[in-house]
Amino acid sequence: MVAQQTADVIYLGSALSLRGTRMHFERNEEIFGEGEASEYLYRVVSGAVRTMRFTSDGRRQILGFHLPGDVFGVELGASHSLTAEALSSTEVVVVRRSLLEKAASEDPKAALSWLEYAARTLDEMRDHALILGRKGAGERVAAFLLSISRRLVHGQDFDLPMSRADIADYLGLTIETVSRSFTEMERQCAIDLPSSRHVVMRNPSTLALAAA
């Protein structure tokens, strides 16, 4: 089907698209590991992915969540600088890294599109550093919910693709603190939690205020 093929493309920046093929990963399956040769870049079709880095003693910092439509795993160096795992059963499009390199080395527009993607990623990481360095637990969780709900576009309720542990490791908190923040926001009528993964945005402005 044409529609199917249209979906199997990775758009990087505004002027670079690459045709790829489908792959599937199960929940918690590693897509690539830190230090591994980077053979492919990826786009999430369905499901979700976490990318992360570890301290020498095993503490985990999740650096990004990748939702349907998002591109991840793009490396300039020979090996991956992050580890990526599927949050749930996940469908991705993969494109050989060599195709990207070829396009970028032949066409400045392609290279600039790649750069566009890198710049956006960097900007997001800087915002995250601001959150990690200077915000309290409630502010972090509120900002997280706003960010995820915005990215999942739907109306005012959505399903979180990740566990409390994942959220905690993304926000530099513990599972318990994340859980308590959720409970507190429910008490303030900012959100509803009909189940632990399902969030209803009852009062986004309260949430925005809490995110400072």
Partner DNA sequence: CGGGCGATTGATTGCCTTCAAACGTGGTGG
Partner DNA sequence: CCACCACGTTTGAAGGCAATCAATCGCCCG
**Which residues lie near a copy of itself (CB under 8 A)?**
53-57, 59-61, 63, 75-77, 81-82, 104-112, 114-116, 118-119, 121-123, 125-130, 132-135, 169-172, 212
What does the alpha-carbon distance between residue 85 and residue 27 come to, in Å, rounded to a whole number?
8
Q: Which is nearer to DNA, 10 or 201 (CB)?
A: 201
- Closer to a copy of itself at the Cβ: 77 or 155? 77
Q: Name which of 27 and 126 has its Cβ closer to DNA.
A: 27
Report the nearest approach of a copy of itself to the CB of residue 9 (Å).
21
Is there a contact between 102 and 41 (Cβ–Cβ < 8 Å)? no
Task: Output the six-digit token pair for 55.
Answer: 């301290």
What, of DNA, a copy of itself, none, does residue 132 touch, CB below 5 to 8 Å by kind? a copy of itself
Look at residue 6 and give the partner it binds from DNA, a copy of itself, none, a contact being a CB closer than 5 to 8 Å depending on partner kind.
none
Report the nearest approach of DNA to the CB of residue 148 (Å): 14
Any idea of the CA torsion for 106, 71, 30, 153, to the nearest 10 degrees?
A: -170
Question: What backbone phi and psi angles, to 5 degrees, belong to 165?
Answer: -65, -40
Both tokens of residue 2? 């044409």
Binding-site partner at residue 115 among a copy of itself, DNA, none, CB < 5 to 8 Å by type: a copy of itself
| Residues contributing to the site for DNA (CB under 7 A) | 136-138, 163-165, 172-180, 182-183, 193, 195-197
DSSP class of 79:
B
From the list a copy of itself, DNA, none, pick the one residue 178 interacts with, judged by a Cβ distance below 5 to 8 Å according to partner type.
DNA
Q: Distance between CA atoms of 196 and 78, rounded to whole angstroms?
A: 40
Cα atoms found within 13 Å of the Cα of residue 95, Cβ hemisphere only: 27
3-state secondary structure of 92: strand
* Nearer CB in complex with a copy of itself: 22/102: 102
